Structure 1
Amino acid sequence: MRGAILIGIVVMLAVTLVPTIRSLIQQQHGTSETRASIAQQRETVAALERQAALWKDPSYVEVQARERLKFVRVGDRAYSVIDPSQTDRPDDAAAAPVVSAPMANDAAPWYGKVWQSIQIADRPTAGLPQKK
């Protein structure tokens, strides 16, 4: 009889404590995820603060304007390479092909010309010589 009462008490304690322990473990897991998220956000904020500090330096702003926007000072000369892959071609292939798209019908009304131009623009190979 004592054994049955003892087993009953153990079962009651297990039924009472298991959900509490499960919720405690879930809360600890959630807390660790939140701490990891906060640490990542702090790193992001620190990186953004470093970047903001760079933009406060006038020399950095000048370098960025020269590189990104192709700005030059008065009297300087700027050179831009348009297509570096064209320098590797032979002389006869270096000349770019002349591309002319077909014109819209001049006799058509304005809305017909607009529609024709849309149809022509929809064909990316319009005016290019056909490859065999």
Structure 2
Amino acid sequence: MPDNRRTPRASRPRGRGAQRRTTPRPVPVAAAGTPAVAGSRRPRLTGRAAVLVLVLAVLTVSYASSLRAYLQQRAHIEDLKSQIALRQATISDLEREKERWKDPAFVKQQARELNYVMPGETAYVVLDEDGKPVERQGTLTDPATVARTTPTAWWSTAWQSVELAGDPPPVSTPPPATKIDERKIGGDAG
């Protein structure tokens, strides 16, 4: 009976007259007795690698200069933004000052600081012991900085008055005098 089993590839004959080679191939020997590499020795830097390194260097330089320009522009933009914010604050201060000049009381105060008086008034200058004018203490404040109070309804004030009248707080009386002060009586013992 014939054997129908397949033989493995390695043991199959290959083509016409193919035989398995059992002897190793000869290795060429160099002059010093060491085996030589098949073909000539390849250089470490091939033409492709050199072109790749050159392209990478060019890209690095161009990206570095672009990055430097980008960072300079960002710093310039930040400087401009801070200048804009500073100028906007100055503009708002000047607009607030302009609004203050619309107030007649502020205009009068500024005029009085320059020693102007209203018609019919007499100006007096207060001098200190050295003969120098005394500085003014009272100034008008900016209306925007004054704390606004919320008005209360008139009926709540009236009701508080009614409650206070119905239940007055205790009044503290001064202690009785132990001595009579003759100076307060008005008598002059002279």
Could you list the per-position Cα deviations for residues 8-32 of structure 1 after superposition, in whole angstroms to 9, with x for gaps in the alignment?
A: 2210101221211111111111111
Residues 65/84 of structure 1: CA separation in 2 closer, same or farther (3 Å cut): farther
RMSD: 2.1
Residue aligning to 2:83: 37
Residues 34/7 of structure 1: CA separation in 2 closer, same or farther (3 Å cut): same
Residue aligning to 2:93: 47
Residue aligning to 2:71: 25
Unaligned runs of 5+ in 2: 1-45, 133-190
Percent identity of equivalent pairs: 31
Per the TM alignment, residue 80 of structure 1 is displaced from its structure 2 partner at its CA by 4.3
Question: Is the CA contact 1:72–1:78 (under 8 Å) kept in the aligned structure 2?
Answer: no
Unaligned runs of 5+ in 1: 88-132
Taking structure 1 as the reference length, the TM-score comes to: 0.56
Decide which of 60, 63, 74 is 1:14's aligned counterpart: 60
Question: Match of 1:66, SS?
Answer: helix
Provide the C-alpha distance between the structure 2 equivalents of 1:32 and 1:50, rounded to a whole number of angstroms. 27
Per the TM alignment, residue 57 of structure 1 is displaced from its structure 2 partner at its CA by 0.5
Per the TM alignment, residue 71 of structure 1 is displaced from its structure 2 partner at its CA by 1.6
Residue aligning to 2:130: 85
Could you list the per-position Cα deviations for residues 56-91 of structure 1 after superposition, in whole angstroms to 9, with x for gaps in the alignment?
A: 111100011111x1122323442243x75358xxxx
Letter in 2 for 1:50: R
Q: Which has the higher helix share?
A: 1
Residue 64 in 1 paired to residue 110 in 2? yes
Q: Which has the higher contact order (CA 8 A, sep 6+)?
A: 1
Taking structure 2 as the reference length, the TM-score comes to: 0.40
